[in-house]
């Protein structure tokens, strides 16, 4: 009789019956097996769409009162939170403080595992104190197994300081977890191909959820026009090319006049669009955007290309 691991109620720690012979498969068969398991992730995330939407509404509410979105995690979960946070400033021209990622073990844990750091709830609480978390903030804990002490310590302290909190996990949430937090997101992706290796399906689900949260929040804050990321600031040649192409698309311009308009807007694409659409100065365009909280759709109600 084959040895079995002790029963663990966490879905992320259970053994996948479909991959029990993976060590006997060919390379192509291993690829096909992993791919078949990965196809389950999107449906698991879709099942949580209502909870994800509630989370987004809380994040947007925090942003609109000058609060922050703060992710807290350990290991892969922490790295994905830091990754999502770090991509906001170059993509949507946000202040780096607006979306932050806390990882157990600090920034060194991004590239080298800090064994044991996740076991200390007081470390999570201290990280929340260091960031002076308060009632305007929303803190999302990420722990695919649902049990990471560092994350629970951080969320407990965040709630004590008045912040709203959410929890993202990939196993069945307990009633206590659901009662404790303002929102719980639990895409049930099932046991991993390699038992307990939550960098796989659980990691993919986590990345999908975080992408959805911040992307939808940025759309609601007016940082997207049509489906174009117009609230970018030109800081390199790649972004200059993208900015010029956005102006060519939305304004019907050739490359040269698009480049001139971008220069006149001091490299800010959204300002350039308002200037060009309304035939106004950079100062007036900025004033109109500021009056609507930066929502380009309220200055220019028609959608790009519509």
Point out the residues that are catalytic: 87, 118
Query: What's the per-residue H, E or C state across the chain?
Result: CCCCCCCCCCHHHCCCHHHCCHHHCCHHHHHHHHHHHHHHHHHHHHCCHHHHHHHHHHHHHHHHCCCCEEEEECHHHHHHHHHHHHCHHHHHCCCCCCEEEEECCCHHHHCCCCCCHHHCHHHHHHHHHHCCCCCCCEEEEECCCCCCHHHHHHHHHHHHCCCEEEEECCCCCCHHHHHHCCEEECCCCCCCCCCCCCCCHHHHHHHHHHHHHHHHHHHHCCCCECCECCCCECCCHHHHHHHHHHHHHHHCCCHHHHHHHHHHCCCEHHHHHHHHHHCCCHHHHHHHHHHCCCCHHHHCCCCCCC
Tokens of 110: 């991004």
Q: How do beta strands 164-168 and 183-185 pair?
A: parallel
| Beta-bridge partner residues of 71 | 101, 140
Cα–Cα distance between 124 and 122 in angstroms, integer? 5
Phi/psi of residue 100, nearest 5 degrees: -125, 155
């Amino acid at each position: 009789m084959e040895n079995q691991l002790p029963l663990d109620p966490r879905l992320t720690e259970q053994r996948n019956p479909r991959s029990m012979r993976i060590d006997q498969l060919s390379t192509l068969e291993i690829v096909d097996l992993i791919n078949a398991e990965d196809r389950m992730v999107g449906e698991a995330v879709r099942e949580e769409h209502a909870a994800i939407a509630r989370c987004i509404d809380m994040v947007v509410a925090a942003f609109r009162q000058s609060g922050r979105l703060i992710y807290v995690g350990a290991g892969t979960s922490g790295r994905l939170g830091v990754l999502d946070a770090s991509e906001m400033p170059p993509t949507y021209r946000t202040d780096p403080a607006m979306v932050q990622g806390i990882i157990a073990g600090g920034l060194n844990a991004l590239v080298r595992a800090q064994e044991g750091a996740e076991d200390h709830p007081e470390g999570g609480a201290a990280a929340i104190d260091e960031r002076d978390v308060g009632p305007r903030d929303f803190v999302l804990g990420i722990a695919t197994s649902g049990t990471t002490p560092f994350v629970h310590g951080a969320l407990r302290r965040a709630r004590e300081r008045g912040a709203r909190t959410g929890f993202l996990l990939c196993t069945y949430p307990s009633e206590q977890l659901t009662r404790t937090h303002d929102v719980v997101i639990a895409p049930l992706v099932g046991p991993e191909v390699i038992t307990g290796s939550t960098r796989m399906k659980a990691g993919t689900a986590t990345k999908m959820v975080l992408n959805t949260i911040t992307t939808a929040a940025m759309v609601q804050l007016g940082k997207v026009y049509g489906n174009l990321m117009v609230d970018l600031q030109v800081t390199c040649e790649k972004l200059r090319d993208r900015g010029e192409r956005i102006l060519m698309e939305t304004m019907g311009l050739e490359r040269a006049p698009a480049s001139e308009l971008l220069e006149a807007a001091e490299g800010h694409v959204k300002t350039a669009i308002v200037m060009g659409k309304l035939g106004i100065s950079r100062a007036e365009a900025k004033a109109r955007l500021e009056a609507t909280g930066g929502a380009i759709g309220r200055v220019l109600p028609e959608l790009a290309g519509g």
